[in-house]
A = this chain, B = another copy of it.
């Protein structure tokens, strides 16, 4: 039995007592961009219920071009107005460099990715980088409420990153 099989079983319990459907646009008008890390559940750490918020996640919680695509769709088509970035302590993204990662893949497969792995040495600094990328994007219209945090995987706390 694979983990995927276990997910299918778990879903049967979820269907019991399911009360839907909710409206499509996020009720609390916010989009979260967070790391894919297994220890970080954005709904739990921020108190998000079903229907409340868009949640965008990738390796690092990095504001990539694809995150900007998602944010553009979130704001332009579905009415969100705030953005919350969540990085975290003990992130895998600080354990390697872009060059190492791309060269490792090239050595193994013969093909070097054309993209950056988006590794970063410091989570808080990468939150600032993400805020700067959002502020610079012509495709994300609402920028009055863009804030970023580092989630502490040891304590459960989120610490706000202050920008200059």
Contact = CB atoms under 8 A, between A and B. Distances in A.
Interface of A: 2-4, 6-11, 13-15, 18, 20-22, 24-31, 36-41, 43-48, 50-59, 64-67, 69-70, 72-74, 76-78, 82, 84, 90, 92-93, 95-96, 101, 104-105, 109, 111, 113, 115, 117-118, 138-139, 145, 147, 153-158, 160
B59 A57 contact: no
Per DSSP, chain A at the interface is mixed
Contacts of A7: 30, 46-48, 84, 158
Contacts of A36: 31, 54-56, 70, 74
A4 B81 CA distance: 11
20 contacts: A3-B53, A4-B84, A4-B147, A8-B160, A10-B47, A14-B45, A20-B154, A20-B155, A20-B156, A21-B153, A22-B153, A36-B70, A38-B54, A39-B50, A43-B44, A59-B73, A69-B115, A69-B118, A73-B92, A77-B101
